[in-house]
Amino acid sequence: DGHWVPPSALDGFTGLYKGLKVRNSLTNELDDFVPRRGNAVTWYMCGPTVYDASHVGHARTYLTFDIVRRILEDYFNYKVFLVMNITDVDDKIIQRTVETLQEAGKPLDDIDTTPLTREMEALFWRDMRALNIRSPNVITRVTEYMPEIIAFVEKIIANGYAYESQGSVYFDTAAFQAKPDNTYGKLCPQMVGNVELLKEGEGSLTDFSSEKKSNKDFALWKAVKENEPSWESPWGPGRPGWHIECSAMAGDILGDNMDIHSGGIDLRFPHHENEIAQSEACFECGQWVNYFLHAGHLHIEGLKMSKSLKNFITIESALQTYSADGFRMFYLMHQYDRPLDWAEETLNVAMDEVKRFETFFQNVKTRSRDLETALKSPQNWGSLEKDLHTTYQETCGTVHAALCNNFDTRKVITALKELIGDVNKYLQLREGDSEDPSVRLPLVLDVAQYISGILKMFGLGAPSKLGLAQEESGDFEERVTPILDEVLQFRNAIRTQARADKAIPYLQECDKLRDVGFPNVGVQLQDTRDGSTFKLRDRDELLKEMEEVRMAAEEKRALKQKRKEELERQKAAAAQKKADQIARQRQKEQEKREKAAKEAAAKEEAAEEKVAQEQETQA
């Protein structure tokens, strides 16, 4: 494109290339990713504007880039240094504060946005923790960086790329573009000059078009207005423009060049475009960002999320329906830089996928509890083991290629699901072999540990501990397994004797332990002909699952009873119909007999009358 320079061509380059390609918004192509200096990756991410509760659109960005960060750190072993801002002064924040004061009947002569922003920021971090999102290395609040922001603006003015007008300062896009080494519109050249987007970027409280040299120019510093917080500056009291905040804070921590800048696709223009221009104007560096990464749009059932459409979904409310792992799986199943539709059906599929992995690990744990005994069985590999191992190695290659290809987590999840299917098929075939039913547990554990490691790398497994034993959960399982084994042996002995003695009350107590006692402490028990097995589960999930099964069974029984009652009603109706038909037939026959009798009587009477008449005539 002529305006992007690979990091390898920059001064002081010492970066390590590890085969990764990323979709770079600066080129709209897949570019080789390599940090500028060694194994260290510098990264700035646009954070939230804290005026309202965080919603699932925020989760799209922060959870998505948490996955990308984890891949960089835990798979490619880069040392990531992430800076993220908190915008705690902004038009929306001021408007919300004014509305709150007016509703409370308080004066507007001393606007303090801090109570609102601190409350909303605390809620934001709570939501991030609930989603298991790693914290940034540095958090920068706008209100804590006013001296640095003012100094940044002064430097841009000194370099000839900004001008003061009526107490405000504007970026001079014409002066910037006049220099042959500068490019305004690196990200979205087709949008440069889009007045509506530029106006939106300036904020709803700002209308300084008459003060600008050009409509393309944008505010670096805004002169104070009534009912707004302000800070002193060389140009008079005011507050920073939206775009300058990120540039100044990122520049203060990361300097004149960074490896990655990220954010939602909706910020690409004008926010990110203006960030690039004013930063390169300040540092006169030519290239402030090496790789720009954007998360795709999130729509709600095909529509843009909006309170007016009543489809505004907060992270807190979404987590009441879907688990944090289900949330993360939803994003893992889709490409991070492509549009995504938040739909109940797709989210339920993601929850089902989490359940699929959980069930797989539970089955592996069940088989591997007595590893010492299992290893006494034959361990030589046959064709089943060799085939599974080949598939395992091929999957490792597929996963690596997918992660190298712009973090293609969707393909990774598909490959892991297929590998689970291959393991399950192996278990079924091996355990079904009457001559050699012994599962080669080291191979199964090897595959399961690999799958568990990839899922953990993605950030799955908290708080439900998806995967094999990890951290404290492994110690807990080791401690409780021998105890549960002893309890199950005792229970099995009771059940065996109770069945022999037909002692129903004892069998009922054993069932109660299985159906009530154990589930209440997160233990799922299954009785088989050969004894009993158990799985350690998340208590709430297990109880919810059992309740769903109970309700489904209840619905099935109710439906069966309804069908039975309907059948009986139909039978009764048919019997009544038949009885009515018989009664009507009998009635007809009776009427026929009565009619015949009447006709016979009439004939007899007529005959008698005729005889009488003849006798009278003769007389």
Report the C-alpha gap between 319 and 327 in whole angstroms: 8
pLDDT (0 to 100) of residue 464: 44
Which residues contact residue 117 at a Cβ distance below 8 angstroms, ignoring those fewer than 6 apart?
50, 51, 86, 88, 89, 93, 143
What's the chain's Rg over C-alpha atoms?
38
Cα 548–Cα 551–Cα 556 angle in degrees, nearest 5: 125
Of the candidates 49, 57, 119, 129, which has an alpha carbon nearest to the alpha carbon of residue 86? 49
Q: How far apart are CA 308 and CA 397, in angstroms?
A: 47
Q: Please tell me the distance from the alpha carbon of residue 43 to that of residue 254, in angstroms, as a whole number.
A: 8
**What are the backbone angles phi and psi of residue 244, rounded to the nearest 5°?**
-65, -25
Instruction: Measure the CA–CA gap between 125 and 436, rounded to whole angstroms.
Output: 54
Average pLDDT, the chain: 92
CA 401, CA 87: separation in Å to the nearest integer?
A: 37
Q: Collapse the DSSP code of 290 into the 3-class scheme (helix H, G, I; strand E, B; otherwise coil) and give the result.
A: strand
Structure tokens at 481: 């397994």
Phi, psi (rounded to 5 degrees) for 426? -60, -45
Residues 6+ apart with CB under 8 A from 339: 296, 297, 298, 299
State in Å, rounded, how far the first CA of the chain is from the last one. Answer: 143
Top CATH class of 36-320 equals alpha beta
Q: Where are the domains of the chain?
A: 36-320, 352-464, 469-535, 538-619
pLDDT less than 50: residues of the chain: 1, 463-464, 470-473
For the stretch 301-311, pLDDT in tens is 888 877 667 77
Distance, in Å, from the CA atom of 339 to the CA atom of 131, rounded to the nearest integer, reads 21
Q: Report the relative pairing of strands 258-264 and 289-295 from DSSP bridges.
A: parallel
Contact (Cβ atoms closer than 8 angstroms) between residue 278 and residue 243 = yes
Q: Which of 503, 389, 509 is nearest to 450 (CA)?
A: 389
Residue 443 has a pLDDT of: 97
Q: What is the DSSP letter of 75?
A: I
- pLDDT at site 49: 96
Taking the C-alpha atoms of residue 617 and residue 179, their distance in angstroms, rounded to an integer, is 150
Burial 72-81 (b: 16+ CB within 10 A, else e): bbbbbebebb
- Which 3 state secondary structure label does DSSP give 13? coil
Q: Are 155 and 149 in contact (CB under 8 A)?
A: no
- Beta strand extents in 46-104 (DSSP E only): 79-86
Architecture of domain 352-464 in CATH? Orthogonal Bundle (1.10)
pLDDT in tens, 463-498: 445 666 544 445 677 778 888 888 988 998 898 899
Angstrom distance (rounded) from CA 167 to CA 313: 40
* CA 220/CA 150 separation, integer angstroms: 9
- d(CA 609, CA 590) in angstroms, rounded, equals 28
Q: How much is the pLDDT for 461?
A: 81
> Any long-range contacts for 373-379 (C-beta under 8 Å, 24+ apart)?
374/438, 374/439, 374/441, 375/441, 375/442, 377/438, 378/436, 378/438, 379/438, 379/440, 379/442
For residues 445 and 440, what is the distance between their CA atoms, to the nearest angstrom?
9
> Which DSSP string corresponds to 220-234?
EEEE--TT---B--T
Instruction: Give the span between the Cα atoms of 286 and 183, in whole angstroms.
Output: 9
Per-residue exposure over 52-62, b if at least 16 CB sit within 10 Å of its own CB, e if not: bbbbbbbbbbb
Res 391: pLDDT: 98
With contact defined as beta carbons under 8 Å apart, do 238 and 171 qualify? no
CA proximity to 287, closest of 273, 275, 276: 276
Q: Where are the beta strands (DSSP E) in 316-421?
A: 340-342
Distance (Å) of CA 398 to CA 160, 381, 383, 395, 449: 52, 24, 22, 5, 17
CB 233 within 8 A of CB 150: yes
Beta bridge partners of 535: 524
